[in-house]
Structure 1
Amino acid sequence: MSTTSTTSSTGSIPALRLDSRDIAREAGGTAAGFDTDTDSRSGGAGSGGLTANTRSRPQGLGRGMPSNRRPEPPAPGRPGARPLVAAFRRSAPGVAVALAAAGASVAATLVLPAVSALLVAIALGVAARNLLPLPAALEPGLAVAAKRLLRLGIVLLGLQLVLGDILALGPGMIAVVVAVVAIGIGATLLIGRALGIPATQRLLIACGFSICGAAAIAAVDGVIETEDDEDVVTAVALVVLFGTLMIPIVPAIGGALGLGELRTGLWAGASIHEVAQVVAAGSAIGGAGLAAAVVVKLARVLMLAPVLAVVSIQRRRAMRRAVAAGGADASGRRPPIVPLFVVGFIVMVLVRSSGLVPQAVLEPVLAVAGVVQTMLLGAAMFALGTGVRFAMFRRVGAKPFVLAAASTLVVAGVGLGGVLLAG
């Protein structure tokens, strides 16, 4: 690039001045030359000389053609490291607060053994949202806790289940468990439709009340990817409210009917929503009632896997119909038939039930896994609790409460009838 060639091609002083800056840039020039290029390309004085000059110079000389520059390659051996670090930094504060709340919830159960750590975590989340100004910096981490930590907790939940214990219930009680889940979900969906409740909200309430409470609600949300988080929060709040009311009601009615500890425990396990709520009710019933209640409840928890598979298949079919009708993008992500965390849950059930792991190894693993599972689920419940705003209940109206009450009655009624027939 020379002064003589530029003068002959453009015959103008601006071109000569620009060429000098090009030379300066080739030698490591300043940002001022870049600004001149940009202004000239946008139609400023001397733009004709610049056009001829930039088109004639080879690609890569100077900075006059930013579109021709190739992006700098990432640092070798660390592909995608920066986005991961940035995501970690965004989510770390919220995750840390959620885990701290879970730790406080576990500590509270040491003082009050009859209280569930998960229920305490939800209460702390609700209180934090409505009584404290939660910083916006916590929101990304709370979202991670509500979904990813919950899924990890559900995977570890599988270690609580022993297939031999569930099979020992006998075919009659196993049929009762299946009936409670199937009839509970079906009836809740039908009642919800009659009440005019949106399909997503009634599905969340149906699965939460029929299977295992807040964990089931969040698991279903992980499959259908609910667009409105208010639906999830409402369902969680309702399952906590009505399940807690069932803790004293079931033992009282069981005693009034003369069912005895065993059958009252079976009914509690078949009708109360949360595992922790079942444990609280079983403790009030007695030793035999507690053992029976927990086994039946865990049998309902086991139904989470097939129910999620059915929900996922139905979701995929709905998406295909929407694409065929032209109402959705064909490139949209479809949920897997069996979500990965459900596969992990099943694997943990098989590991616990196989008997291949020596008991000397299994016992400490189960002890640690139990603490980790409680912490993960507690953090998730706290995060879900922070989504509850008292003003929200005025917006949602009375219909979800009516549906929750009806679902509780259906599940309890099917459970009681089944226990009287099979117990």
Structure 2
Amino acid sequence: MNKDFFITNLPGIFFCTILAIIIQFIFNQIETKIIDTLLTGLIVGIVIKNTGIPILKFEKGVKFSGKHILEFAVMLMGASIFLPDLFENGLKILLIILIGITGSMGISYIVGHKILSLDKKLATLVGVGNSICGNSAVAVVAPVIKANSTQIGAAIGISAILGATQIILLPLLVPAFGLEDFQYGIVAGLSVYAVAQVVAASSIVSSLSADVATLVKLTRVILLAPLVLVLRILFKTEQEEKSDSKLISNILKFLPWFVIGFILLALLRSTEIIDQGIGLDIRSIAKFLFVLSMIAIGLTVDIKEIVKVGPKVAVTIILIIVFMVVLGISSSNFI
């Protein structure tokens, strides 16, 4: 890190940190909490962004917090996850994820492309982003299928907005359907768009829900590589030939370091090199960093963008979300 990094990023990081400390302090004084600190952080960020409060000088640090600090927090969560407890039904969960990815891609093609006449590449980006790992999946698939910037922007924009609404609405499924924490974790991990949104939507319910949801989500991330290889074959006639080594390198670029770190820390916890007490302490640090990151993400959400996104894209994504939620609820009864 050089001097320029601190000059450009530190103000925004400091701004988000102060807000996170204030939120955490207030919540520590409240006995009955209606909403979670993560959701509060997101809402605070959105309100600040959309009420005209000048935050331009914090912009770079805010973006850094919403991406890199978030990724670091996700990695730290691995230190509190005891894999034997979660892998007891691992093969069943993997099967559910594969069904979810296949179904989501099918919906994006049949409904989005065939029925609603979305461009095939845009429909593919919508399906990939919402069935795998959000923006990263869109970013790595876009050059493979030769998608343009407009298609990329449309796929990411509406998906992120609808994903943010899931943070607020999805927890309502718990009382509505009598879901247990483990079941809700599967639903959230399957249906929510981005890693940050998965953590926020699941942590509101319980720590167990967050653990399960994160594991399901990161499993979806890992499945990006084989899906990209399939798409490369399907779009082969529409793209320039690229070497396999370059393609694999590009995929690995979007299977980021924090996923590897998460797995390594989970292995250390599962072998009890990291004991339960230390794991919980690390989780507390991660929780604070998540609040900080949620504030940063909220500071980048422009409500006006909601009216700019295409209704056809929105309909396709909503159908994918509904499919994933129904799949998660129905399949969780058999785990």
Query: 1:302, CA displacement in angstroms?
Result: 4.0
Alignment counterpart, residue 270 of structure 1, candidates 143, 166, 186: 186
Listed as ranges, the matches of 1:6-405 within 5 Å are 84-110=2-28, 111=30, 113-169=33-89, 171-172=91-92, 174-175=93-94, 177-179=96-98, 181-183=100-102, 185-187=104-106, 189-190=108-109, 191-194=111-114, 195=116, 196=118, 198=122, 199-207=124-132, 216-217=133-134, 220=137, 232=156, 234-254=158-178, 264-272=180-188, 273=192, 274-281=198-205, 293=209, 296-310=212-226, 322-324=239-241, 334-336=250-252, 338-357=255-274, 359=275, 362-364=276-278, 366-405=279-318
Cα 1:192–1:347 shift into 2, 3 Å: farther
Counterpart position of 1:6? none
Change (3 A) 1:324 1:297: closer
Q: Deviation at 1:147?
A: 1.9
Q: Distance in 2 between matches of 1:235 and 1:341?
A: 22
The question of whether the paired residues in 1 share the 8 Å contact of 2:104 and 2:323 is answered with no
**Residues 345 and 249 of structure 1: CA distance in aligned 2, closer, same or farther (over 3 Å):** closer
Does 1:407 pair with 2:320? Answer: yes
The count of corresponding residues between Structure 1 and Structure 2 is: 305
Q: TM-score, normalised by structure 1?
A: 0.60
Task: State the superposition RMSD in angstroms.
Answer: 3.7
Following TM superposition, by how much is the alpha carbon of 1:390 offset from its aligned partner in structure 2, in angstroms?
1.9
Residue aligned with 2:308, SS: helix
Greater shift in the superposed pair: 301-310 or 122-131: 301-310
**1:137 CA displacement:** 1.5
Q: Secondary structure at the match of 1:301?
A: helix
**Contact 1:251 1:281 (C-alpha < 8 Å) held by counterparts:** no
Unaligned runs of 5+ in 1: 1-80, 208-215, 255-262, 283-289
In the other structure, the counterpart of 1:287 is none
Question: Counterpart of 1:168 in 2: which secondary structure?
Answer: helix
CA separation in 2, counterparts of 1:353 and 1:136? 44
Question: In 2, distance between residues paired with 1:138 and 1:217?
Answer: 25
Kindly indicate whether the alpha-carbon contact (under 8 Å) linking 2:44 and 2:298 is maintained by their aligned counterparts in 1. yes
Contact 2:107 2:320 in 1 (8 A): yes
Q: Report the CA distance between 1:184 and its aligned residue.
A: 5.4
Structure-2 separation of matches of 1:89 and 1:248 = 42
Provide the residue aligned with 1:53 in structure 2: none
Judged with a 3 Å threshold, the aligned counterparts in structure 2 of structure 1 residues 301 and 201 are, in CA distance, closer, same or farther, namely closer
Give the counterpart letter for 1:182 in structure 2: I
**For the residues of structure 2 that align with 1:346 and 1:389, how far apart are their CA atoms?**
34
Distance 2:99 2:20 in 1: 31
Gaps of 5+ in 2: 144-148, 193-197
* Inter-CA distance 188–344: structure 2 relative to 1 (3 Å threshold): farther
Q: Name 1:52's counterpart in structure 2.
A: none
Give 1:180 deviation, angstroms. Answer: 5.6
Rg larger in structure: 1
TM-score using structure 2 length: 0.74
Amino acid of the structure 1 residue aligned with 2:213: K
AA matched with 2:22: A
Change (3 A) 1:204 1:302: closer
- 1:340–1:277: structure 2 CA closer, same or farther, 3 Å change rule? closer
